[in-house]
Amino acid sequence: MSIRGRRAARTLVTCVAVMLGVALILRPASSASSSVAAVAAGDLHSLARQTDGTVWTWGDNDAGQLGDGTTLDRNTPARVDGLNGVAAVAAGSYHNLALKEDGTIWAWGRNNLGQLGDGTTTTTRPTPVQVSGLTGVVDVAAGWDHSLALRSDGTVWAWGYNAFGQVGIGSTTEQHTPVQISGLTGIVAVAGGGYHSLALKSDGTVWAWGYNSTGQLGDGTTTDRYTPVRVAFPANSPPRGRRWCRPHGARGHPGHPGRLRLLRPRCRPAHLRLVLRLPPGGQQSRPGGRRHGDTILHSRRGGLVRGPARGERRHG
């Protein structure tokens, strides 16, 4: 090859290398972010559920809440080993819940108050353990140190810290395994506040129980409630009316393949959505400290009973 030919060949190779380098720079750094289907946040840690059913965590790990078998903090996401087929996640202060497609719940992190529901108070669980005795679950929620589950039959089950009646069983006795909340049927959504809980019924009514120092139960008092009480909305707000009924896929939401066979009831109120508003920064304080969350009800018809506000967490 002549000198001119060799120079032309080198020039061509250089151009191709430059083009490839530009393409690599312009390509998204990772496709993981585009495959995330849901997120949840605890006090100082975060979770993400990907579309493939895996769970990823990062942040503070003092109580093993990252589920990686250690107590080392992480500043980038790492996969929780052994968790597959997850349909939903929820985060408490230092513990987490994962609802699998088979209707079972798995939990990890702090467990000093029985919030993992495995029948023990082992201080920490750095890897997921199955919540005892619960199947057919279609939704989960977590408070500061208590947990909630909604079954496909419309019943609600709770466990964990119960000093203010947030487990809803009529006492303040701590519960280390799930117990059914009496009198709650036809439930379609649940939410956990710092030390109170909410349930939305299929007839559009909202029921609340637990800590009520600032009126967060909405019953017109500031008395703690150990069993569910109905939230006292004004007579014409929000409006009562027709139900929203349409085919449901995984977790009871439209548009997902029906991999989760145990679904929540098919009819939901057309106009309601539960929201828990957290203080700025998303952190909640214990009783006696800063306020730890207001309860807000959104109207799907466009109105608000209260809110919305910065740092809100939606359920439903």
Per-residue pLDDT reduced to its tens digit, 28-42: 444 444 599 999 999
Please report which confidence band the pLDDT of residue 203 belongs to, taking 50, 70 and 90 as the band edges.
very high
- What predicted TM-score, i.e. pTM, was given to this entire model? 0.71
SS3 of 201-255: the string is: ECCCCEEEEECCCCCCCCCCCCCCEEEEEECCCCCCCCCCCCEEECCCCHHHCCC
Measured between alpha carbons, how far is 153 from 35 in angstroms, rounded to an integer? 31
Query: Quick check: 257 pLDDT over 50?
Result: no
Angle of CA points 90, 43, 213, to nearest 5°: 90
Instruction: Report the distance separating Cα 99 and Cα 10, nearest Å.
Output: 58
Asked if residue 229 has pLDDT above 90, the reply is: yes
Q: What are 268-314's pLDDT values in tens digits?
A: 444 455 555 444 444 444 444 434 445 545 444 444 433 333 333 44
* C-alpha to C-alpha distance for 227 and 169, rounded to whole angstroms: 6
Q: Given pLDDT bands bounded at 50, 70 and 90, which one contains residue 9?
A: low
Contact 143, 135 (CB under 8 A): no
* pLDDT tens readout for residues 140-197: 999 999 999 999 999 999 999 999 999 999 999 999 999 999 999 999 999 999 999 9
Q: What structural domains does the chain harbor?
A: 35-269 (2.130.10.30)
pLDDT score, position 294: 52
